[in-house]
């Protein structure tokens, strides 16, 4: 079993590294905007990086020079895929940059800590790095964060839990959607590593200062860390460490004065958008729309399709949902940390509800919340599955075989479809 787990861990890192170099430049959703936040810290005054208001002219020029998805072409005027090969273009000779000026950054709402860390690393290692090379460096840094989590805190967590859980979790990380979330230039891989560190910390008996400091870091990386903050603080409170729980919750709230100091206002990724109209549709229709958003969220956890949003074949999407349904766990007679997991899941559900409504009000349709957010939570969700449920050895073996077969098929279909789209 140890050899199997080691092989799967290496396979996950290799799959994500392949994704980082295979994916065309800026094809990861929101990559130009995340990259601009990193480069603002890498090149200019820290105050400009802290504000993070604009996409630099060199980033805009790089986006315009590479082939891109229709969503980017509509904004930046880059050539469409098919004019030149897109796959592996970050490791080929770069095209001549196009003339460009700066643009507004719709990711300026994101907290600064992840961008600060990546930007300072680039400032120290390669101060004048070109935008396209910085994009590849940020993708590989994200892969490094995943590797650190897998071979560090997640390996420690696996030692005290059923081996089948670790196998299932590593197989899940081999799905295309995991790489699409965690091997792109963004702050999601930093949340994944942070979540793994928090879960490993809670398995031990940490000194108060360490728990408070680590838990407080999460929201400064990305606000999707808040459900794990809720879980962690409730878990500490129930364990009897009430002062540590209260201090952790209070320090986690530091993200709000930090964001206010940046000129931030509430609104998630829709912060820079104008005011939106009310949802003028009957309640039953709105409820169906919410269900559609939930379906889209779950479906796109295994396949987003890059910024081209290339959809998976419908039979494969349905098979994925069927596999999730078949993997239902039996409820433990005495589930561990039930109140903490319930609080965290309730917070995650509330966040999804608010964000789905915000997307509907701005874009005018339901279903716009992609499932890449879930992968930052996946260390916590895996632990929650073990704390709350169990599955028999025979059923576990059958489900693992089915999961492995689906993962292989999904990757083969994903690579074939995207290779045709991008061009080799």
Instruction: Tell me the per-residue pLDDT of 22-59, one tens digit each, with 9 for 90 and over.
Output: 999 999 999 999 999 999 999 988 888 898 888 999 99
Instruction: Report the C-alpha gap between 357 and 364 in whole angstroms.
Output: 10
Instruction: Report the C-alpha gap between 249 and 340 in whole angstroms.
Output: 13
pLDDT at 86 > cutoff 80: yes
- Mean pLDDT of the chain, nearest integer: 91
* Cβ-count burial 259-296 (b if 16+ within 10 Å, e if not): beebebeeeebbbeeeebeeeeeeeeeeeebbebbbeb
Is pLDDT larger for residue 337 or for residue 108?
Answer: 337
Residues making up the chain, counted from first to last: 424
Partners of 403 in the β-ladder: none
Write down the pLDDT at residue 136.
Answer: 98
pTM of the model: 0.95
The one-character DSSP state at 421 is: H
Let me know: does 21 contact 28? Beta carbons within 8 Å. Answer: no
pLDDT digits (tens, 9 = 90+) for 257-299: 898 888 765 544 444 444 566 677 888 888 898 898 998 899 8
pLDDT digits (tens, 9 = 90+) for 157-170: 999 999 999 999 99
Orientation of helix 163-172 relative to helix 2-22, angle to 10°: 10
pLDDT at 66 > cutoff 80: yes
pLDDT band of residue 365 (cuts 50, 70, 90) is confident
Start-to-end C-alpha separation, the chain: 38
User: In 3D, which of 243, 208, 214, 246 has the Cα closest to residue 228?
Assistant: 214
List strand residue ranges (DSSP E) for 81-206, in order: 103-104
């Amino acid at each position: 079993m140890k050899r199997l787990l080691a092989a799967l861990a290496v396979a996950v890192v290799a799959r994500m590294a392949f994704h980082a170099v295979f994916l065309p430049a800026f094809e990861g959703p929101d990559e130009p905007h995340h990259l601009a936040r990193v480069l603002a810290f890498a090149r200019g005054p820290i105050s400009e990086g802290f504000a993070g208001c604009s996409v630099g002219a060199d980033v805009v020029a790089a986006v315009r020079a590479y082939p891109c998805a229709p969503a980017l072409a509509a904004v930046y005027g880059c050539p469409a895929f098919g004019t030149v090969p897109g796959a592996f273009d970050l490791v080929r000779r770069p095209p001549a940059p196009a003339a460009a000026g700066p643009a507004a950054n719709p990711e300026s709402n994101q907290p600064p800590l992840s961008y600060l860390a990546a930007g300072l690393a680039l400032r120290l290692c390669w101060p004048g790095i070109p935008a396209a090379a910085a994009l590849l460096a940020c993708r590989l840094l994200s892969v490094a964060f995943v590797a650190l989590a897998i071979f560090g805190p997640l390996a420690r967590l696996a030692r005290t839990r059923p081996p089948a859980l670790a196998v299932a979790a590593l197989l899940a990380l081999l799905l295309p959607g995991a790489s699409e979330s965690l091997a792109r230039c963004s702050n999601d891989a930093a949340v994944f590593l942070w979540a793994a560190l928090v879960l490993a910390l809670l398995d031990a008996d940490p000194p108060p200062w360490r728990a408070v400091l680590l838990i407080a870091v999460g929201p400064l990386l990305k606000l999707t860390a808040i459900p794990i903050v809720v879980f962690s603080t409730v878990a500490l409170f129930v364990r009897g460490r009430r002062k540590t729980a209260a201090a952790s919750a209070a320090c986690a709230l530091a993200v709000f004065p930090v964001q206010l100091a940046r000129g931030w206002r509430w609104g998630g990724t829709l912060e820079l958008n104008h005011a939106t109209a009310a949802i003028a549709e009957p309640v039953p229709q709105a409820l169906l729309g919410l269900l559609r958003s939930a379906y889209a969220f779950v479906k796109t956890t295994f396949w987003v399709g890059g910024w081209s949003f290339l959809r998976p074949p419908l039979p494969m999407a349905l098979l994925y949902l069927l596999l999730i349904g078949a993997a239902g766990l039996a409820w433990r007679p005495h589930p561990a940390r039930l109140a903490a997991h319930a609080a965290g899941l309730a917070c995650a559900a509330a966040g999804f509800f608010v964000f789905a409504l915000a997307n509907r009000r701005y874009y005018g349709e339901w279903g716009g919340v992609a499932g890449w957010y879930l992968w930052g939570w996946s260390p916590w969700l895996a632990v929650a599955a073990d704390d709350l449920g169990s599955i028999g050895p025979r059923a576990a073996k059958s489900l693992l075989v089915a999961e492995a077969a689906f993962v292989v098929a999904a990757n083969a279909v994903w690579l074939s479809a995207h290779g045709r789209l991008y061009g080799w």
